[in-house]
Chains A and B, each alone.
Chain A
Amino acid sequence: MTARIGVVTFPGSLDDRDTQRAIRLAGAEPVALWHKDKDLKQVDAVVLPGGFSYGDYLRAGAISRFSPVMDTVIEQAKAGLPVLGICNGFQVLTEAHLLPGAMLGNDHLHFICRDQKLRVENAETAWTGDYRRGQEIHIPLKNMDGRYVADPYTLDKLEAEGRVVFRYVDFNPNGSLNDIAGVTNEAGNVVGLMPHPEHAVEPLIGSGRTDGLPFFTSILKKLVNA
């Protein structure tokens, strides 16, 4: 048996097909989910992909968070459904309060696209089991609004509880506080990050590395072994 992983398409989602491909390459079955549809089609996990949902109007993720599909995602995530938010998906998760903090515009005010070095800080989440804590990986990053911020209390709490999952190494591409690239919720089933693991799954394509594949094999193992 394999796991079924849903990928939500919002209007303006861009990396939804790429994420489906990454799920397929990891050996799981991708399931397309539509933002107007509350039905999650009984998937075992959900990915909110990158892009500019609703054109990033108002604030990145601010409108998508009210899509019908998100009602179900929020409800089930609170009940333990594994959810991964990539880039715009991460922004949606913070807007939906499934993850703490928020994303502001990059401190240099430009869009930035680069192969970014990260350190895995937490290999215990639903999505990072196939990494080692402290492992350094390269994952493509591309965004306009990637500066992670939170109030000092929240930051301290995240750090104390080990809920910073990824940190930027050598170069902070957007001014994120504490070099934070990704965080998780208390239960560890919801993870959000700005870099795009789905663009590092084939040796020839994109960054030419496969450092992102463990995201998808991690969740597959967790689901199949559960």
Chain B
Amino acid sequence: MSRTPLDTVEHAAATPDVELPWAELGLKKDEYERVVEILGRRPTGAELAMYSVMWSEHCSYKSSKVHLRQFGEKAPESDALLVGIGENAGVVDVGQGYAVTFKVESHNHPSYVEPYQGAATGVGGIVRDIIAMGARPVAVVDPLRFGAADHPDTKRVLPGVVAGIGGYGNCLGLPNIGGEVVFDACYQGNPLVNAGAIGVMRHEDIHLAKASGAGNQVILYGARTGGDGIGGASILASETFDDAKPSKRPAVQVGDPFQEKLLIECTLEAFREKLVVGIQDLGAAGLSCATSELASNGSGGMRVTLDDVPLRDSTLSPEEILMSESQERMCAVVEPAKVERFLEICEKWDVIATVIGEVTDGDRLEIFWHGGKIVDVDPRTVAHDGPVYERPYARPSWQDALQADDANKLPRPATPEELREQVLKLVASPNQASKKWITQQYDHFVQGNTVLAQPEDSGMIRVDEETGLGVAIATDGNGRYAKLDPYTGAQLALAEAYRNVATTGAKPLAVSDCLNFGSPEDPAVMWQFAEAVRGLADGCQQLGTPVTGGNVSLYNQTGEAAIHPTPVVAVLGVIDDVARRTPVAFQEEGQLLYLLGDTREEFGGSAWSQVIHDHLGGMPPAVDLERERLLAEILISASRDGMIDSAHDLSDGGLVQAVVESALLGGKGARLVVPDGLDAFTFLLSESAGRALVAVPRSEELRFNDMCGARGLPATRIGVVDGDSVEIQGEFTLPLADLREAHEGTIPALLA
């Protein structure tokens, strides 16, 4: 684009025939025409820049919006929800005057292109969302998915992603308490790097992203604006990868966690002194997003002088400044009388802060550059009135054949010896193996409030030192289940995260999600998405846990090959006293092991079918959300009343996986008996949902059994904590030392 003359609003009106590079900026022809229609003239270069990033899939949710509405329409009644969908993050009442905000976002595409920076800035972005609500960030979690564990590119992507998450989160002083690491060939070329964060505040400290009050000043603070990440949202996150196109590396942002740490402290200090009217972080779409969202959510308009934005590179054009996704920046709206104090606090923390504009009593967002007006728009048309697509969707033709390919009919181990070998192979398989090599690269101690961290079923953080109030979070997703049946798969993800929170003794309260799918332009993918959203919305309605917000990541595909549909669900819970939390590890020899729930022959999508048969087919395990709710209630009561000393949810890998993990973590073995009515194979490896393993002190057995009986929850005594091996009576014995070697050796051998 030629820089002379300056493409002002007047100039645009006078030169209607100038061709603008709308296609290069990721806009479709009809979208560009819509912009022209809204403005009544061609957009200026700067306006085009803003519309192109804000109307991108990543920022506008144009393909997903029509489906996501269900989360609101089907939202269950909940007293806990203080701020719902639409803000930077949802806010939940956890009692005692505390509120918790949490959210999960994707940083999938950048993390494939540049694993370290992509993952690092994913953490940075989600943390700024949390601060923007007025909360102090207290923990992060990272659900990660990579290609096959032994694929050479996984060795490039995974160590970089893990180092990036650690490098950024550790340096911010945020304990990393949960998440997942999953390997599957379907994520080859499209790794999923989802980042979640939790923040805590008092009710009265909740802040929202809006600019109100004519004359209030708009302050940009944090890092200088540079040329990094230009078009990140529109180009990188909203298109599929294609070998023929040029490298996308310049569209990946570069993070500086030290700057972000200062930003956190400085922002929280400004909040404490009540200096902030409205606040917005600068993430995807940078200043375009912050100015248009702040202005459209408030009561007035906004005038911004772009010349005042501190730059890292003085040659940046106004379009580039508007589109830059330089990290560690925030935008605050401050009353004129409080500006001086706000700037003082920024100076104390060595954070650059500049007044770049003010709230006006009009309804336009006007941006000036070198004295000329280069943007004059209704901010709502940029931020909220983007295109909405009713993308065609259709159940794929192959779905029936996939579901008919029944995993329950796969050959099963014929002898106890064969069963033993398969169990050993399973616990050593990359997905079932210990992820310690990864999680030990994350700080989980910092802030001194970590009660539970991975590999526990949920991460748990103490919120109040005096009362012991705490919050728990679990994230789960199973792309294999969702591929077999997206509706059920989404509900299984919800059920597992809900169960994981309850297993540690916390009461599930609310849900956030990160919905990772292929291209919405493929009707089969769109069907998967529609089904998953419907399943999740129905499930949340039934469980009484509202969705507080979330994130959609589409275009996770290379060429024709889409990833498995992968809805990742985060459930937040609360526990009155963290002293009553239940850990996974076996605590004492002699304690009785109970299996809660029903075990059926359910092997579709199972770890066994993948590891032993490299198979994916049939139906995923059935979901019974009423049973999940009952199981959760029993687990929470048992934890509160001291009836169980350890508990572990049963999910992929089945019962034997849970027993092995509890045994290895506790350094104590178990003797198990196959219960009547079940064969050893199904008992050990079925993945029926709605189940948990608990260890009951002998003194509590009667009381515990009575409770389960009275509430109608099947509870089967299956063994005892004992010895230094896992013994399945009449079948086989596996010494803990062998199990430990198998379980803990795999990941370092592949990746270290």
Contact = CB atoms under 8 A, between A and B. Distances in A.
Interface of A: 11-12, 14-15, 17-18, 21-22, 50-52, 54-57, 108, 110-114, 140, 142, 144, 196, 198-199, 201-202, 204-207
Interface stretch (B15-23, B440-448, B588-596, B607-615): B440-448
B440 A205 contact: no
B163 A113 contact: no
Contacts of A140: 445
Given A112-B441, A142-B445, A205 B462 contact: yes
A55 B256 contact: yes
B166 interface: yes
Contacts of A56: 171, 258
In this complex, which of B167, B442, B443 has the most chain A Cβ atoms within 10 angstroms of its Cβ?
A: B443
B217 interface: no
In this complex, which of A56, A111, A201, A202 has the most chain B Cβ atoms within 10 angstroms of its Cβ?
A: A111
Contacts of B137: none
B388 to A, nearest CB: 43
A54 B173 CA distance: 13
Given A12-B171, A111-B170, A204-B451, A196 B445 contact: yes
Given A11-B349, A11-B350, A142-B443, A57 B449 contact: no
Contact of A17 (B257, B349, B447): B447
B545 to A, nearest CB: 26
Interface string B599-642: 00000000000000000000000000000000000000000000
B446 A14 contact: yes
Contact of B258 (A52, A201, A202, A205): A52
Given A12-B258, A17-B447, A204 B441 contact: no
Given A21-B465, A204-B581, 14 more contacts: A11-B258, A12-B171, A14-B173, A14-B446, A50-B446, A52-B258, A55-B256, A110-B163, A113-B440, A142-B170, A196-B445, A201-B448, A202-B448, A205-B451
B329 interface: no
B261 interface: yes
B478 interface: no
Contact of A207 (B261, B350, B445): B445
Nearest to A57: B258
A114 B440 contact: yes
B451 A21 contact: no
Closest 6 CB pairs of A and B: A55-B258, A14-B173, A18-B448, A199-B445, A52-B171, A206-B445
Nearest to A199: B445
Given A111-B441, A113-B442, A199 B448 contact: yes
A144 B257 CA distance: 15
Q: Interface residues of A: mostly helix, strand, loop or mixed?
A: loop
Nearest to A22: B448
Contact of A18 (B256, B258, B439, B447): B447
A219 to B, nearest CB: 19
Contacts of B451: 204-205
Nearest to A34: B348
Interface string B446-476: 1111110000000000100100000000000
In this complex, which of A52, A112, A114 has the most chain B Cβ atoms within 10 angstroms of its Cβ?
A: A52
A205 to B, nearest CB: 6
Nearest to A200: B445
Interface string B382-393: 000000000000
Interface string B425-439: 000000000000001
In this complex, which of A54, A56, A196, A206 has the most chain B Cβ atoms within 10 angstroms of its Cβ?
A: A206
Nearest to B351: A11
B579 interface: yes
B578 interface: yes
A111 B448 contact: no
B440 A112 contact: yes
B262 interface: yes
7 contacts: A52-B170, A55-B256, A55-B258, A110-B163, A113-B443, A198-B448, A205-B451
Given A51-B173, A55-B256, A205-B462, A15 B441 contact: no
A189 B587 CA distance: 41
B601 to A, nearest CB: 39
| Contact-residue size bin, chain B (C-beta under 8 Å from the other chain) | 20 to 34
Contact of B445 (A52, A57, A113): A113
B401 to A, nearest CB: 44
B414 to A, nearest CB: 42
A22 B449 CA distance: 12
A15 B173 contact: yes
Contacts of A144: 170
Contacts of B444: 113
Nearest to B450: A206
A150 B349 CA distance: 35
A205 B448 contact: yes
A221 B121 CA distance: 46
B359 to A, nearest CB: 31
Contacts of B167: 111
B166 A111 contact: yes
Given A11-B349, A17-B447, A111 B256 contact: no
A12 B462 CA distance: 23
A188 B447 CA distance: 29
Contacts of A14: 171-173, 261, 446
Interface string B144-172: 00000000000000000001001100111
B163 A111 contact: yes
A22 B462 CA distance: 16
B441 A113 contact: yes
Contacts of A204: 451, 462, 578-579, 581
In this complex, which of B257, B258, B349, B465 has the most chain A Cβ atoms within 10 angstroms of its Cβ?
A: B258
Contacts of B448: 15, 17-18, 21-22, 198-199, 201-202, 205-206
Contact of A11 (B163, B262, B445, B579): B262
A206 B449 CA distance: 7
In this complex, which of B257, B350, B440 has the most chain A Cβ atoms within 10 angstroms of its Cβ?
A: B440
A110 B578 CA distance: 32
Contacts of B439: 113
A66 to B, nearest CB: 14
A21 B451 CA distance: 16
B312 to A, nearest CB: 16
A47 B635 CA distance: 42
Contacts of B257: 52, 55
Contacts of A206: 445, 448, 450
A207 B444 CA distance: 10
Interface in B235-275: 256-259, 261-262
A13 to B, nearest CB: 8
B441 A110 contact: yes
B261 A12 contact: yes
A217 to B, nearest CB: 17
Contacts of B581: 204
A83 B473 CA distance: 38
B374 to A, nearest CB: 35
A114 B171 CA distance: 17
Contacts of A111: 163, 166-167, 170, 441-443
B171 A18 contact: no
A220 to B, nearest CB: 19
B450 A205 contact: yes
Contacts of B447: 17-18
A199 B596 CA distance: 35
A213 to B, nearest CB: 13
B170 to A, nearest CB: 6
